[in-house]
Amino acid sequence: MWGEDGGRRADVRVVSGRIAEIGELTPRPGECVIDAAGLDVLPGMIDVHVHVADRIGRFELADDWASAAEIALRNGVTTLAGFATQHPGEALTEAVERCLARAAGRSRCDFAFHLTPTSWPWDWDGLAALAARGFKTVKLYTTYREAGLFSGYAQLAEVMPRLAALGMRLLLHCEDDATLAAIDPSSVDLADPRSHARLRPEAAEVRAIETAIALAERSGCPTHVVHVSTAAGVEAIAAARERGVAVTCETAPHYLALDQEALRPPEGHRYLCTPPLRVAATRDRLAALAAAGAVDLFATDHCAFTRRDKDDWRGDLRAVPCGIAGLGALVPLGFELLVKRHALALSELVRTLSANPARLLGAFPRKGAIAVGADADLVILERAGPPRPIVSTLADAYETYPGRTTTLAVRRVIRRGRIVVEDGVTLDAPQAGAFAVA
């Protein structure tokens, strides 16, 4: 079995959905025994950045909680974290109840939510009550004025000390809004999807990250930068972390596996996401940094739209809903990068896909570890199985990695002590997931 500190040979006893004992154990009468000899046992993986069962602008997302959890479990992901974004006229606490109701009874994975307040001033009493219930993260954006999501740096400076006082962590989408606004759309060919990267350059991300680091250092607020797409951004975060700033980051598999060549017409619009795919040199530097441990965790930013909605753009890339599928590719691509390409131990996969994601949610070590008292979320893997296609989503959305395969075989998935997947197939009569940090 594997943890973030390494692997060892041991038996694991599960009682009432929790890990009760670890060691050299003798089966008791009536116990179900799973023989994992020759295989690897890891804690359940966690994707902390998924967009499902929601509407973005005028578009409904392709995945609901049922389809998202299905492809997640097939690939060893047992916990998903989405976003509870406050709607106009809605209290933040009401947004949370709305989102919990959508997931409850539909998700076969455990689930959590990051909070996004959009009214101003914030309801700090309500936020404190949610923090006491286990909601430990707030997600904000340094752009997207037109969507009503923008938070300026002055607002961040005001809220970050108060979030720190509540024991909460700030998640931040980093693109400098002033940099983006200074770019004239008429200066690029809006019929060429590659222009999306010119409208949202690397400099915008790096400037916002540098400002976020300064604010985190001043306020003491733990800050996590989501979906970093630039090597320079990761390097700035790593340097800040070295000098003691409480700042972490994630990147997504598509920034490690794809580059701007995917945006070439005629199908390049299907790969539009924000931040955009970068040039190959940036991708390669980012992948090297991730393999060297500079990235805290991987998360997909899974945001799949239907094929029809992706294709209905009429020659103006600004009309394309930005987001791509990735949920089912998280574990296979993480394995391919870290273990197969860079010859790292499976403990690095545990660190980036399980332990650190659990820490971000405030759920470690109940999640993200094989430890006495932890939830019995376990994944049994075979590294050298027969090649199989990587499938990012089961919804009617374009596959992000067509033609790619993996030898990583998911033999069994156990969530809270119950077997939910055998040989890549989910079992009937599923048990519904639950709030991950309750």
How far is it, in rounded angstroms, from Cα 323 to Cα 310?
9
Of the pLDDT bands very low, low, confident and very high (cuts 50, 70, 90), residue 436 is confident
Query: What pLDDT does 433 receive?
Result: 83
Does any domain span residue 80?
Answer: yes
Residue 438 has pLDDT above 70, yes or no: no
Query: What pLDDT does 31 receive?
Result: 94
- Inter-CA distances, 300 with 15, 72, 187, 256, 262, Å: 32, 11, 31, 11, 17
DSSP, residue by residue, 21-41: EEES--PPTT------TTSEE
Does any domain span residue 239?
Answer: yes
Average pLDDT, the chain: 96
SS3 191: coil
Does any domain span residue 92?
Answer: yes
Does any domain span residue 233?
Answer: yes
Domain count, the chain: 1
Of the pLDDT bands very low, low, confident and very high (cuts 50, 70, 90), residue 101 is very high
Q: Are strands 405-406 and 388-389 parallel, antiparallel or unpaired?
A: antiparallel
SS3 412: strand
DSSP, residue by residue, 266-290: TTGGGG--SSPP--HHHHHHHHHHH
Residue 428 has pLDDT above 80, yes or no: no
DSSP, residue by residue, 357-391: HHHHHT-TTTSSS--TTSB--EEEEETT---EE--
What would the two tokens of residue 15 be? 């009682």
DSSP annotation of 50 reads B
How far is it, in rounded angstroms, from Cα 361 to Cα 135?
8
Query: What pLDDT does 69 receive?
Result: 97
Q: Report yes or no: 170 and 221 within 8 Å, Cβ to Cβ.
A: yes
Does any domain span residue 430?
Answer: no
What would the two tokens of residue 423 be? 């040989």
DSSP, residue by residue, 304-349: ---HHHHH--TT-GGGSPP----GGGHHHHHHIIIIIIT---HHHH
Residue 212 has pLDDT above 80, yes or no: yes
Q: Are strands 297-298 and 18-23 parallel, antiparallel or unpaired?
A: unpaired
Of the pLDDT bands very low, low, confident and very high (cuts 50, 70, 90), residue 175 is very high
E runs forming strands in 226-333: 247-251, 297-298
Percent of the chain at pLDDT exceeding 90: 96
Residue 176 has pLDDT above 80, yes or no: yes
Give 342-367 pLDDT, tens digit per residue. Answer: 999 999 999 999 999 999 999 999 99
Residue 259 sits in a domain of what CATH number? 3.20.20.140
Residue 429 has pLDDT above 70, yes or no: no
Query: What pLDDT does 435 receive?
Result: 83
Give 278-312 pLDDT, tens digit per residue. Answer: 999 999 999 999 999 999 999 999 999 999 999 99
SS3 103: helix
Does any domain span residue 26?
Answer: no
Does any domain span residue 306?
Answer: yes
Query: What pLDDT does 432 receive?
Result: 78
Structural domain of 287: 43-374+384-407
Q: Are strands 6-7 and 2-3 parallel, antiparallel or unpaired?
A: antiparallel
How far is it, in rounded angstroms, from Cα 176 to Cα 94?
30
Does any domain span residue 18?
Answer: no
Query: What pLDDT does 112 receive?
Result: 97
Give 254-279 pLDDT, tens digit per residue. Answer: 999 999 999 999 999 999 999 999 99
Of the pLDDT bands very low, low, confident and very high (cuts 50, 70, 90), residue 437 is confident
Positive or negative CA dihedral for 249, 304, 81, 152? Answer: positive
How far is it, in rounded angstroms, from Cα 210 to Cα 41?
39
Give 11-68 pLDDT, tens digit per residue. Answer: 999 999 999 999 999 999 999 999 999 999 999 999 999 999 999 989 999 999 999 9
**Of the ranges 122-131, 202-211, 420-429, which one carries the lowest mean pLDDT score?**
420-429
